Amino acid sequence: MAAVVEVMSGTARELGKTLRLLSRNKIGFAGLLVTLLVVFMSLAGPLIWPPEQSANVADINQGPSQKHWLGTDFQGQDNLLKVISGGKEIVIIAFLAGTLTTLLAVSVGAFSAFIGGWVDGLLMEVVNVWLTIPKLPLLAILATMLKLNDVWLLAVILALIQWPGLARQVRSQILTLKKRDYVEAATMLDLGTGNIIFREMLPNMMSFITIALIFEMTHAIYQQTSLVFLGLVPFSGANWGVMIELAQRKGALFAPTAAWSLLAPSLAIILFQLALVSFARSLDEVFNPRLRTSV
């Protein structure tokens, strides 16, 4: 019982310490808060503020006002409500694709670095070839063959397309870590392969991996919105990409009054990206003891 309490209080302490570390970097902490806000609004927002079902002919293409904070679109629907209801797929796919890409890249990169020899050579050759393939045209071709309207399927495909660059970086990180004196010392102390990987090497890569994860997420957002924008992925209903595409098709690029229907989803994407990237800054402090001088 005492042991359980000890573990629990230990975890609580660690959690408190992590929170304190996160809050030390103001920009990073703001990034975390905005990220959480965007995620919450996208997942729970539509339940609280349901999207409008019908067109509103009286309020077409209006600028921001007290009634419509971000203006209205060509159907007279509120842009803010559409942004709220259009984030769900973007957020889910960003997290899924980002996580899958990172998992795949770390596994392949680490495996390649550990095995070495011809396996390593072969894998890196595959990576090189993969890196030369232009991604968006490939996605366009895939979209004609597959029905990319499933969240999971799209996430998996984005991950499959995106992993090689990160895998290369992970491999080189592991190669340098393998040669560190403290890894050799751990070998001599016979701490076991598991300990060497998870205790000696991985913590040294954590900040790198989490930041890579976040950048993979932002990348996935760009890729899926551009897919939707190009009309290659038929997402039903609202989606930031769909909004941009519709706005553009309805002349938002030329009609100043319609600009807000283009700006609203773009701002949402920019805000989410910016929040993620600044959050990455805070994470660096959490994982790098050199940056957390006094906690």
CB 242 within 8 A of CB 266: no
Q: How far is the CB of 234 from another protein (least distance, A)?
A: 47
Closest CA to 171 of 208, 198, 214: 208
Q: Identify any residues that bridge with 78 across adjacent strands, giving them in sequence order.
A: 72
Q: How far is the CB of 177 from another protein (least distance, A)?
A: 10
* CA–CA dist 19, 206 (Å, integer): 17
Nearer to another protein, 11 or 65 (CB): 11
Nearer to another protein, 18 or 149 (CB): 18
Nearer to another protein, 54 or 294 (CB): 294
Q: How far is the CB of 141 from another protein (least distance, A)?
A: 42
Q: How far is the CB of 13 from another protein (least distance, A)?
A: 13
From the CB of residue 50, how many other CB atoms can be counted at a distance below 10 Å? 11
Residue 16 in tokens: 């408190």
Sign of the torsion formed by the C-alpha atoms of 236, 240, 243 and 247: negative
From the CB of residue 90, how many other CB atoms can be counted at a distance below 10 Å? 24
Closest CA to 131 of 154, 94, 105, 96: 105
Q: Is 72 helix (H, G, I), strand (E, B) or coil?
A: strand
Nearer to another protein, 204 or 266 (CB): 204
Nearer to another protein, 128 or 176 (CB): 176
Q: How far is the CB of 287 from another protein (least distance, A)?
A: 8
Contact residues: another protein, CB under 8 A: 180-182, 184-192, 195, 199-200, 203-204, 287, 289-290
Nearer to another protein, 203 or 237 (CB): 203
Work out the angle at residue 114's Cα, subtended by the Cα atoms of residues 176 and 177, and round it to the nearest 5 degrees.
20
Q: How far is the CB of 32 from another protein (least distance, A)?
A: 22
